[in-house]
Amino acid sequence: MNGAECLLRTLVNNEIGTCFMNPGTSEMHFVAALDRVPGMRAILCLFEGVCSGAADGYARMLRKPAATLLHLGPGLANGLSNFHNARKARSPIVSIVGEHSTRHLRYDAPLSADIPAFASGVSDDIHVVRQGDELGDATLAAIGAAVKPPGQVSMLIIPADISWSDAGEPVAAMAFPTREEAGDDAVHEAANLLRSQQNVGLLLGGTALTGAALEAAGRLVSATGVRVFADRNAARTESGRGRFQPCRIPYFPEPARQALAGLRHIILVEAKPPVSFFGYPGCPSDLLPEGCEIHHLAKIDEYGPSALAALVHECGCGKSHTERNTQAPTPLPEFGDLTPDTVGAVVSALLPEGAIVSDETVSSSAPVWNHLLRAAPYDHLPVTGGSIGQGLPVALGAAVACPGRKVIALEADGSGMYTPQALWSMARESADVTVVVFSNRRYGILDVEMRRTGAEGFGPAANKMIDIGRPDLDWVMLSQAMGVPAARAADTEEFRRQFSHAIGEHGPRLIEAVLAGS
């Protein structure tokens, strides 16, 4: 059995059954092996950033890795920015990167590049396979590193000759590690704080923003009055009506500090102390009030849900009422212009229960989020690492991971242009994704950031770097060019009609929501 087949069988043995790929010459044996090894769904992407972003979306939904297969250093380079987001999401991903054959490496051929240097910016776990008989074990080590809590992108760099030479037998399934339970001391300490009647906050991140963990947090609120916050960049949050809704820390530092004001203690659950997204002149990056003490209930790699359950038990509030989001559904807006607010209202009002929302709305995000609080229960996937161009790939990956659920990609027009190739893979895979493009024809967030950084009033030359109209991007044609049916809407009635149609069908569809004034 050649190396490629050994690799593929070891992946499949370990329940890695999806690979997002953009292969080249050095990966041909892996591609050829797809016909000999059942159990691997290979999904072609026309740009590597789609592969890495899709694997991130997949991992966020299933909490298990997909593989990616990329071609040499430049192929990996194109995938890095979405691997950056995956790193911040702590998504487990096994990233396979083909390398020149061992003998060819010394020649510095045109495609030679320092693959580990590229990889080191997004992964602490880089395996360069040197011999065929190492391949099965190296694959298992890479899988192990990917799934080791809290999860990461592991890199498996495989020279072409290792793929085409004999590599022995594939390795059998390993037991995936589970997250460690938080220590009793941490639970006692947190319980004491909650009983202390001081101003105490819980900050939830990681896996503590879903299911029973949210229920437990809601119980603690009603029993102890603790204030509960959510990491706005956490990988996945279950949100919407009927669920407990923590306070998502705002994006800009001033309202964020306001939200956290008064806290004397913050207890972290799979989260880091909150900091502002950017630094600004004369503005501290720390968001916590001065003197606020930091405590850990569950560290980043520990299991927040069980820690919260233990805390509920310790506080004796297992039978307490669970605080829940009891907001009424968003009413459909009156006939009128499309704005981030009215688009958000329509999306919220019509969002099907159990939907997955990939949210890359950037400058439109605040009003959309406010409406989504009133939507039917859904899963929210934000931009974890701030690198835009992940919204469409993450939506693709989530759709592949959860074929029975509707995925909604809420996408800023500027951000969507980094990885529009995701649309083609959505079309090919019949991914059930409704894409809503917020078309304001500006890098709108930079209007705000320009003022915030203290840059003096900007003139026409600067404006030209923020204006992405001239020429206008036609998202309907862009989408149709890649096989995804599309339509444009410029008022609430048309948008409602289009969105309603899209969610009533299966398969990908794009709506360009042309915002008023754009």
Cβ proximity to its own copies: between 453 and 500 the closer is: 453
477 binds its own copies (CB under 8 A): yes
Instruction: Say if CB 299 and CB 190 are below 8 A apart.
Output: no
The residues in 408-427 that bind its own copies, with binding defined as CB under 8 A, are 414, 417-418, 420-421, 424, 427
Show the binding pattern over residues 105-124: x = contacts its own copies (CB under 8 A), - = does not: --xxxxx-xxx-xx-xxx--
Other C-beta atoms lying within 10 Å of the C-beta of residue 109: 10
Q: Give residues with Cβ within 8 angstroms of 208, minimum separation 6.
A: 214, 217, 269, 270, 271, 298, 304, 305, 307, 308
The residue from 453, 505, 516, 517 that contacts its own copies (CB under 8 A) is 453
Length of the chain: 518
CA-to-CA distance for 357 and 236, rounded, in angstroms? 10
As given in the structure block, the two tokens for residue 330 are 């968003």
Cβ proximity to its own copies: between 37 and 194 the closer is: 37
Instruction: Say if CB 507 and CB 484 are below 8 A apart.
Output: no
Cβ proximity to its own copies: between 313 and 464 the closer is: 464
CA-to-CA distance for 97 and 157, rounded, in angstroms? 5
Cβ proximity to its own copies: between 319 and 470 the closer is: 470
Instruction: Say if CB 263 and CB 288 are below 8 A apart.
Output: yes
CA-to-CA distance for 395 and 392, rounded, in angstroms? 5
The residue from 181, 449, 491, 493 that contacts its own copies (CB under 8 A) is 449
Show the binding pattern over residues 271-290: x = contacts its own copies (CB under 8 A), - = does not: -x--xxxxxxx---xx----
> How many chain residues touch its own copies (CB under 8 A)?
102
131 binds its own copies (CB under 8 A): no
Say which residue the tokens 């919260």 belong to.
308
The residues in 328-387 that bind its own copies, with binding defined as CB under 8 A, are 383-387
Select the span of 135-143, 306-314, 353-361, 480-488 touching its own copies (CB under 8 A): 480-488
CB of residue 52 to its own copies, shortest distance in Å: 10
**Selection from 460, 440, 239, 214 nearest residue 343 by Cα:** 440
Cβ proximity to its own copies: between 81 and 348 the closer is: 81
Instruction: Say if CB 412 and CB 418 are below 8 A apart.
Output: no
The residue from 32, 259, 376, 490 that contacts its own copies (CB under 8 A) is 32
CB of residue 317 to its own copies, shortest distance in Å: 33
As given in the structure block, the two tokens for residue 261 are 């004001």
185 binds its own copies (CB under 8 A): no
CB of residue 375 to its own copies, shortest distance in Å: 24
Instruction: Say if CB 137 and CB 169 are below 8 A apart.
Output: no
125 binds its own copies (CB under 8 A): no
Select the span of 126-134, 194-202, 395-403, 446-454 touching its own copies (CB under 8 A): 446-454
CB of residue 177 to its own copies, shortest distance in Å: 24
470 binds its own copies (CB under 8 A): yes
CB of residue 401 to its own copies, shortest distance in Å: 20
The residues in 57-116 that bind its own copies, with binding defined as CB under 8 A, are 73-75, 77-78, 80-81, 84-85, 88, 100-101, 103-104, 107-111, 113-115
446 binds its own copies (CB under 8 A): yes
202 binds its own copies (CB under 8 A): no
Instruction: Say if CB 43 and CB 400 are below 8 A apart.
Output: yes
Write phi, then psi, for 344 (nearest 5 degrees): -60, -40
Cβ proximity to its own copies: between 104 and 405 the closer is: 104
**Selection from 138, 47, 133, 58 nearest residue 96 by Cα:** 138
Q: What is the 3-state secondary structure (H, E, C) of 370-420?
A: HHHCCCCCEEEECCCCCCCCCHHHHHHHHHHHCCCCCEEEEEEHHHHCCCC
The residues in 1-30 that bind its own copies, with binding defined as CB under 8 A, are 21, 23-26, 28-29
DSSP-assigned states of every residue in 480-503: HHTT--EEEE-BHHHHHHHHHHHH
CB of residue 200 to its own copies, shortest distance in Å: 23
- Please give the order of strands across the beta sheet that includes 153-159: 41-44, 18-22, 66-71, 93-99, 153-159, 125-128
CB of residue 279 to its own copies, shortest distance in Å: 3
